[in-house]
Structure 1
Amino acid sequence: MLENGLVMMIIILLINIVYVSFFTIRMILTLKGQRYLAAFLSTFEVVIYVVGLGLVLDNLNEIQNLIAYALGYAMGVLVGMKLEEKLALGYIAVNVITTDETELPATLRDQGYGVTSWAAHGRERDRIAMQILTPRKYELKLYEMIKSTDPKAFIISYEPKQIHGGFWVKQVRRSKLEEL
């Protein structure tokens, strides 16, 4: 089966897509502090890498195998990014500034989000500033809720490096968010 040039190209392409996807997920797990899971995943990653590279090196006289390897790598980056989007590991913190006429803080709290709000003073009028913490997989839903309540809300989001204490840790635990 490996004597067929087309089959060899497809195998190399698929191996590299899987390898680079594993690499991407392992890197993300490492950055998120999931050391042991990342180490476990790297075991499979390196086996896949060695097999794929071995196939290419054994057939260096066939340029199409090298091209398949490179294309598989590029496609693996895209697949890895899509997987990361679907997994949406970790949390995001969202800072929102909205008009003081909205009931946005109460609405978000009712939906299970951890919201800290305070009075803010803008150039033209008073505002409400909020800080909201949520699992990344609920990020888009949160943006939709904010924009539907106040389409002109100012929104900034970032990934917190460490979370300690507060309402979120004690109470929320995704209970209401899971129902969304």
Structure 2
Amino acid sequence: MLNIILIFALQLVYVPILTLRTIFLVKNMSIAASSFGVLEALVYVFGLSLVFSGHQSVAEMVVYAVGFGVGLYIGTRIENKLAIGYTCLVVNLMELNEELIVVLRTKGFGVTVFEGKGRDSKRYQLEILTKRNRENEVMELIEEYEPKAFIISYEPRRFKGGFLVKSMKRHIKKANNSQQQSDSL
């Protein structure tokens, strides 16, 4: 019985590490990915040695598989909480909503507005790039001001320049200036 509990616990550690390692790889964060890879390999080898340590009981193998599934769920929940990276939202509107644009910009979101022609009439498109951990905040604002908006959200792999990069550089510069001031005191 102790083996079964240990196998399940190891899967609850192993699979979230595997999930995060995979996500770091996809996001091109190789140092974090390789660090998680080392942890993953250690837990994996130890867990498998327990499962295949002599007689393999069906219960141990089933617990290993169930632990894997539960671990995947936990891993994806952790990643969603971390919300690593950026997201781009494309918001299609039937009419230009200046109030929504002002609110988004006031809250620090960069908004680019495009005008286009739809099947029946003129349409407006907002393009918003933000950190993933603020995506829900943007969605809630859009829902509040434009409940019928059509929204597409995707993760950009790379970007250069623009409002968000300038904003990040300003933030880094302020942090460095504050650090230099505190160092000189």
- TM-score of the pair, normalised by structure 1: 0.88
Aligned to 1:110: 106
Aligned AA (2:21): R
Superposition deviation, residue 161 in structure 1? 1.1
1:77 matched to 2:72: yes
Match of 2:52, SS state, is helix
Deviation string 1:142-163 (CA, Å, 9 cap, x unpaired) is 1110010011111111111101
- Aligned mates of 1:105, 1:116 — CA distance in 2: 9
What's the CA shift string for 1:114-161, capped at 9, x where partnerless? 111122333444332111001111111111100100111111111111
- Residue 66 of structure 1: which of 58, 61, 67 is its match? 61
The answer to whether the 8 A contact 1:100-1:126 is kept is: no
Paired residues, number: 170
2:34 aligned to 39, 47, 51, which one?
Answer: 39
Structure 1 unmatched runs, 5+? 1-5, 176-180
Cα distance, 1:20 vs structure 2: 0.9
Q: Which among 143, 147, 151 is matched to residue 151 of structure 1?
A: 147
Partner deviation per Cα, 1:13-45 (whole Å, 9 max, x = no partner): 110121111000000000001001110111111
Letter of the structure 2 residue corresponding to residue 120 of structure 1: G
Q: Secondary structure at the match of 1:103?
A: helix
- Tell me the residue number matched to 2:160: 164
TM-score, length basis structure 2: 0.86
Tell me which residue corresponds to 1:14. Answer: 9
CA shift at 1:58, angstroms?
0.5
Q: Is the 8 A contact 1:60 1:66 kept in 2?
A: no
**Match status 1:142 vs 2:129:** no
Deviates more, 1:59-68 or 1:47-56: 59-68
Identity level (%): 37
Q: Which runs of 5+ in 2 are unaligned?
A: 172-185
For residues 133 and 97 of structure 2, what CA distance do their matches in structure 1 show?
Answer: 29
1:101 CA displacement: 4.3
Name 1:3's counterpart in structure 2: none
State the alpha-carbon separation in 1 of the partners of residues 23 and 140 from structure 2: 26
CA distance in 1, matches of 2:170, 2:13: 32
Inter-CA distance 52–81: structure 2 relative to 1 (3 Å threshold)? same
- For 2:105 and 2:97, the matched residues in 1 are separated by 17
Once the two structures are TM-superposed, the CA of residue 165 in structure 1 deviates from its matched residue by: 0.5
State the SS of the aligned residue for 1:58.
Answer: coil
